[in-house]
Structure 1
Amino acid sequence: MASMQTECLHAARARLDRLWARGTEFLGCRYAIMGGAMSWLSEKHLVSAISNAGGFGVIACGAMSPAQLEEQIAGTQALTDKPFGVNLITMHPELNDLIRVSLDAKVGHIVLAGGIPPGPAIRAVKDGGAKLITFAPALALAKRFARLGSDAIVIEGSEAGGHIGPVSLTVLAQEILPHLRDVPIFVAGGLGRGEAILSYLEMGASGAQLGTRFAASVESIAHEKFKKFFVQAAARDAVPSVELDPRLPVIPVRGLVNEGTKKFLAHQAETRDKFLSGAITKEAAQLLIERFWAGALRRAVIEGDIETGSVMAGQSVGMVTHIQPVAEIIQELVDQAVKALAAREVV
């Protein structure tokens, strides 16, 4: 019986390897599990830990300068000889320089996120020999990005942490996976277990991207208060930011409810009243709202201000039950997928 179970597990593992073979080949790693690019968190320590554990780490450039990015890439390369990528925001004023820094450092995969990538940026990545990854919130855009030169696409559901779109991964996967086979597609948003990853692989995905579970890992540089907040939170605690008045739009960001969340609502109400009374212009009001969270993510992640800081987290935070090493998290995800496949053979 024991030998039969072992054989089933080996066969299941081989089946999993076949299911995400396109993703592992594209990324150049053992497991087609990408680390989500999280500002302040996805730096050299976490990125190298994910890559060393067989996944694919991604540096979150965010608002870094070219010099800062260069330092992070060099630091990551000093900690791992495995492949990793760099996530660049398309609206960054020094985007071209950031691409050049990445290419000069021989980074093999560049993610252009936060909007439709400009043509010159796409050409620079492609001409420089790197593989281009983009985010697509709809089938039409996914097809467009593939035509423009994306080598792979991430579809991220609204369950994710941080800036989110309006559609869940469950729906996005049904809309996109059956209809786009030209490039590898990685699913993201709300993923916390291997069985869920397996289900999307069987629908046609080439791999998955996770952020929230890695944010609370041992190797994450996040403050211990930040990590413990994740452990204590339930899925329902990770909610999108609320827009009080459509005349003063708020970019939806999913995070854990705290005093800062409540103060943001009060701030919106106060700012709206000033605008309606004519005390300030609409532009000034919009700026006041957008600046409310300035520096709040760093306060939460680095300083441990989980009361008024921005604690960005996906709904999978409910599956963060303790602080684990990255390698343990990845192995757990793989084992869950393998056991789910093996169980079918036993039945």
Structure 2
Amino acid sequence: MSEYPETRRLMARGAEFLGSDWAIMCGAMSWVSERNLVAAISNAGAFGVIACGAMTPELLDVEIAGTRALTGKPFAVNLITMHPQLFDLIEVCARHEVGHVVLAGGIPPKGSVEAIKAFGAKVIVFAPTLALARKLLRSGGDALVIEGMEAGGHIGPVSTSVLAQEFLPALGREHVVFVAGGIGRGEAIAGYLEMGACGVQLGTRFACATESIAHPDFKKAFFRASARDAVTSVQVDPRLPVIPVRALRNKGTEAFSAKQREVAGLLDGEGIEMAEAQLQIEHYWAGALRRAVIDGDVENGSLMAGQSVGMVKEEEPVAQIVASLLAESEAALTGRRAA
């Protein structure tokens, strides 16, 4: 009998799709989801995802090679659809024969899905609405992540529980669907698996793992935080549609409002186009994240975190986190069957 048999049974399709032991993806967190954490997650039987973020093709090339040196297990690369060198990044993934590519941050541009599938990789997409999800899956997406507003980083306006109720009955039987946003314990994983998900994605739970290179002060900020400390950014100018970001409240969240006003002023003066304005916002977050994650500037940097941050209380090895999640999921599933 396999360990955690009920969880394994419900994750079987997702695990087969990913090529991992367990259908537990790590959300792509810029500066955090790099080779050390990604390899540790894949080596633990889950599924690591490199966060490309604002990397150049040259940096991504080095990161994939570095990850391969640490693990022989499958992992994915997460690419931001608005990246100006998206197709060059896809070419890097092709050279390394990456098995899975996640397209995030917007609707994939024309030809991007086809370029990924051309070298045999599987495409994982995000969709905020059921209609768009169906369209992306028809257009070549091999799997879907539905992510609720409880998640950290860039988020949509709808909660995970509502999205799951809407998407899973409609898509769960025929498609591979992962649920993300606010998941911090195995009991939640069990619930979404029973609803029809093939697996889950967690980010915040892994951000403070022992193998995470995040600065000690970044991790301490997580340990001190409660769910209500993870707040969403405010849109200052309606003409500048920026995707809300969930992070721990600090001076950096206030600085983002000032950055929006600065970019809006450039738009007023017709100094930049809308696409460039949005790219400047994305670069702002990349820099703010680096200040927090790498430099440990927890006052002025961006402490992107989901509302599950209140469940992160100490530094743990990735293997222990995965084992705890699986044990909690299995206990919940078997408990309900015994009742």
Normalising by structure 1, report the TM-score.
Answer: 0.89
Q: Unpaired runs of 5+ in structure 1?
A: 1-9
Residues 101 and 247 from structure 1, CA distance in 2 versus in 1: closer, same or farther, beyond 3 angstroms? Answer: closer
Q: Could you list the per-position Cα deviations for residues 190-241 of structure 1 after superposition, in whole angstroms to 9, with x for gaps in the alignment?
A: 0000010110111110000000011111111110000010011000000100
| 1:173 alignment counterpart | 164
**Distance (whole Å) between structure 2 residues aligned to residue 282 and residue 242 of structure 1:** 23
| 2:202 alignment counterpart | 210
| 1:331 alignment counterpart | 323
Instruction: Answer yes or no: is the 8 Å Cα contact 1:60–1:86 preserved in 2.
Output: yes
1:228 is the counterpart of 2:220: yes
Q: Could you list the per-position Cα deviations for residues 120-141 of structure 1 after superposition, in whole angstroms to 9, with x for gaps in the alignment?
A: 1111111211111111111101
| 2:303 alignment counterpart | 311
Q: Could you list the per-position Cα deviations for residues 144-188 of structure 1 after superposition, in whole angstroms to 9, with x for gaps in the alignment?
A: 111001110101111111111111111111111100133200000
Cα offset for 1:20? 0.9
Instruction: Answer yes or no: is the 8 Å Cα contact 1:11–1:342 preserved in 2.
Output: no
**Distance (whole Å) between structure 1 residues aligned to residue 106 and residue 331 of structure 2:** 38
RMSD: 2.4
**Equivalent residue in structure 2 for 1:105, among 92, 96, 107:** 96
**Distance (whole Å) between structure 1 residues aligned to residue 110 and residue 246 of structure 2:** 30
**Distance (whole Å) between structure 2 residues aligned to residue 264 and residue 61 of structure 1:** 22
| 1:192 alignment counterpart | 184
Cα offset for 1:112? 1.2
**Structure 2 residue matching 1:119: 3-state secondary structure:** coil
Moved over 6 A (4+): 266-269
- Supply the AA of the counterpart residue of 1:53: A
- Supply the AA of the counterpart residue of 2:98: V
- Supply the AA of the counterpart residue of 2:190: L
Residues 320 and 283 from structure 1, CA distance in 2 versus in 1: closer, same or farther, beyond 3 angstroms? Answer: farther
The 10-residue stretch of structure 1 (224-233 or 99-108) with the greater mean CA deviation from structure 2: 99-108
**Structure 2 residue matching 1:115: 3-state secondary structure:** coil
Q: Unpaired runs of 5+ in structure 2?
A: none
**Distance (whole Å) between structure 2 residues aligned to residue 239 and residue 83 of structure 1:** 33
| 1:118 alignment counterpart | 109
**Structure 2 residue matching 1:37: 3-state secondary structure:** coil
1:94 is the counterpart of 2:85: yes
Residues 262 and 110 from structure 1, CA distance in 2 versus in 1: closer, same or farther, beyond 3 angstroms? Answer: closer
Report % sequence identity. Answer: 61
| 1:7 alignment counterpart | none
| 1:239 alignment counterpart | 231
**Structure 1 residue matching 2:4: 3-state secondary structure:** helix
1:150 is the counterpart of 2:133: no
Residues matched between the structures, number: 333
| 1:296 alignment counterpart | 288
Residues 96 and 308 from structure 1, CA distance in 2 versus in 1: closer, same or farther, beyond 3 angstroms? Answer: same
- Supply the AA of the counterpart residue of 2:51: A
**Distance (whole Å) between structure 2 residues aligned to residue 310 and residue 62 of structure 1:** 14
**Distance (whole Å) between structure 1 residues aligned to residue 170 and residue 257 of structure 2:** 40
| 1:6 alignment counterpart | none
Residues 346 and 203 from structure 1, CA distance in 2 versus in 1: closer, same or farther, beyond 3 angstroms? Answer: closer
| 2:57 alignment counterpart | 66
Question: Which has the greater radius of gyration?
Answer: 1
**Distance (whole Å) between structure 2 residues aligned to residue 28 and residue 282 of structure 1:** 48
| 1:16 alignment counterpart | 7
Residues 42 and 267 from structure 1, CA distance in 2 versus in 1: closer, same or farther, beyond 3 angstroms? Answer: closer
Instruction: Answer yes or no: is the 8 Å Cα contact 2:208–2:219 preserved in 1.
Output: yes
